[in-house]
Structure 1
Amino acid sequence: MVASCVGFVLIGALQALYGPAIPALRDEFDLSPSTAGLGLSAHFVGGVAGVLLFDRLYGRIGNRKILGSSYLLMAVGAVGFALAPNWPSALVMALLAGLGFGGIDYGLNQLFAVGFGRRSAAMLNILNAHFGIGAILGPAVIGAVGADHYPAVFLAFAAANLPLLLCLRGVRDHVPAPLSDEEFPEGTAVLRRSLASVLTMFVTLYVLHVAVEAGVGGWEPTHLETVGYGAGAAATATSVYWLMMTAGRFLVAPLALRFSAQAIITVSCAGMTLCLLLAAVPGLAPYAYGGVGLFIAPIFPTGLPWLNRAAPRARRAGALVIAASMVGGVVAGPTLGWAIEWSGVRAVPLLLCVVSALCLAATLWLTRATRTR
Structure 2
Amino acid sequence: MSDTVTTSPAADRLFARSAAVASCVGFILIGMLQALYGPAVPGLRHEFGLSPSGAGLGLSLHFTGGVAGVLAFNAIHSRISNRALLAWGYGLMAAGGTGFALAPNWPLALAAAFLGGLGFGGVDYGLNQLFAVGFGDRSTAMLNVLNAHFGIGAVLGPAVIAWLGPDDYPYAFGACAVLAAVLVFAGSTGVLTHVSDAPPATAKTGPLGLSRVLVGFLVLYILNVAVEAGVGGWEPTHLETVGYTATVAASATSVYWLMMTAGRFLVVPITMRYAPERILAVCAAGMTVCLLLTLVEGVAPVAYAGVGLFIAPVFPTGLSWLNSALPQARRAGAWVIAASNVGGVAAPPLIGVGIEASGIHAVPWLLTLLSGASLLATVHLIRLTRG
Alignment TM class, shorter chain as reference: 0.7 to 0.9
What whole-Å deviation, never above 9, does each CA across 1:229-281 have from its counterpart, x for those lacking one? 53465554443322211211111122212222111111111222232344444
Of stretches 61-70 and 171-180 in structure 1, the one that deviates more from structure 2 is 171-180
Q: CA deviation at 1:205?
A: 0.6
Q: Distance in 1 between matches of 2:141 and 2:212?
A: 27
- Residues 85-100 of structure 1 aligned to structure 2 (within 5 Å): 86-100=105-119
Asked whether the equivalents of residues 144 and 316 of structure 2 are also in contact (C-alpha less than 8 Å), the reply is: yes
Q: TM-score, normalised by structure 1?
A: 0.84
- Residues 332-347 of structure 1 aligned to structure 2 (within 5 Å): 332-339=347-354, 346=361
SS in structure 2 of the partner of residue 98 of structure 1: helix
After superposition, the Cα gap between the structure-2 partners of 1:154 and 1:344, relative to the gap in structure 1 and judged at 3 Å, is: closer
- Residues 1-373 of structure 1 aligned to structure 2 (within 5 Å): 1-21=20-40, 30-33=48-51, 37-84=56-103, 86-145=105-164, 150-164=169-183, 165-175=185-195, 191=205, 194-221=209-236, 229-231=243-245, 234-339=249-354, 346=361, 348-371=363-386
Question: Over the residues paired in the alignment, what is the CA RMSD in angstroms?
Answer: 3.2
Q: Distance in 2 between matches of 1:337 and 1:32?
A: 12
Q: Give 2:190's aligned amino acid.
A: G
Q: Give 1:174's aligned amino acid.
A: H
After superposition, the Cα gap between the structure-2 partners of 1:302 and 1:178, relative to the gap in structure 1 and judged at 3 Å, is: farther
After superposition, the Cα gap between the structure-2 partners of 1:191 and 1:54, relative to the gap in structure 1 and judged at 3 Å, is: same
Q: Distance in 1 between matches of 2:89 and 2:64?
A: 15
**Which structure would you say has the larger RCO, counting Cα contacts within 8 Å and 6 or more residues apart?**
2
Of stretches 338-347 and 157-166 in structure 1, the one that deviates more from structure 2 is 338-347
Q: CA deviation at 1:367?
A: 2.0
Asked whether the equivalents of residues 90 and 123 of structure 2 are also in contact (C-alpha less than 8 Å), the reply is: yes
After superposition, the Cα gap between the structure-2 partners of 1:346 and 1:86, relative to the gap in structure 1 and judged at 3 Å, is: closer
SS in structure 2 of the partner of residue 259 of structure 1: coil
Q: Distance in 1 between matches of 2:169 and 2:364?
A: 34
Q: Distance in 2 between matches of 1:219 and 1:138?
A: 15
After superposition, the Cα gap between the structure-2 partners of 1:273 and 1:95, relative to the gap in structure 1 and judged at 3 Å, is: closer
Q: CA deviation at 1:286?
A: 3.5
Q: Distance in 1 between matches of 2:112 and 2:199?
A: 39
Q: TM-score, normalised by structure 2?
A: 0.81
Q: CA deviation at 1:351?
A: 4.3
Q: Distance in 1 between matches of 2:269 and 2:352?
A: 37
Percentage identity across paired residues of the two chains: 63
Asked whether the equivalents of residues 73 and 97 of structure 1 are also in contact (C-alpha less than 8 Å), the reply is: yes
Q: CA deviation at 1:284?
A: 4.4
Q: Distance in 1 between matches of 2:70 and 2:210?
A: 21
Gaps of 5+ in 1: 182-187
Q: Distance in 1 between matches of 2:169 and 2:355?
A: 33
SS in structure 2 of the partner of residue 109 of structure 1: helix
Asked whether the equivalents of residues 74 and 98 of structure 1 are also in contact (C-alpha less than 8 Å), the reply is: yes
Gaps of 5+ in 2: 1-19
Asked whether the equivalents of residues 283 and 310 of structure 2 are also in contact (C-alpha less than 8 Å), the reply is: yes
Aligned to 1:185: none
Q: Distance in 2 between matches of 1:260 and 1:295?
A: 16
Q: CA deviation at 1:338?
A: 4.8
Q: Distance in 1 between matches of 2:228 and 2:120?
A: 19
Q: Give 1:241's aligned amino acid.
A: Y
Q: Distance in 1 between matches of 2:179 and 2:251?
A: 29
Q: CA deviation at 1:139?
A: 3.2
Q: Give 1:272's aligned amino acid.
A: M
SS in structure 2 of the partner of residue 168 of structure 1: coil
Q: CA deviation at 1:36?
A: 5.2
Of stretches 139-148 and 42-51 in structure 1, the one that deviates more from structure 2 is 139-148
Q: CA deviation at 1:31?
A: 4.1
In the alignment of these two chains, the number of paired residues is 364
Q: Distance in 2 between matches of 1:131 and 1:21?
A: 19
Asked whether the equivalents of residues 221 and 339 of structure 2 are also in contact (C-alpha less than 8 Å), the reply is: yes
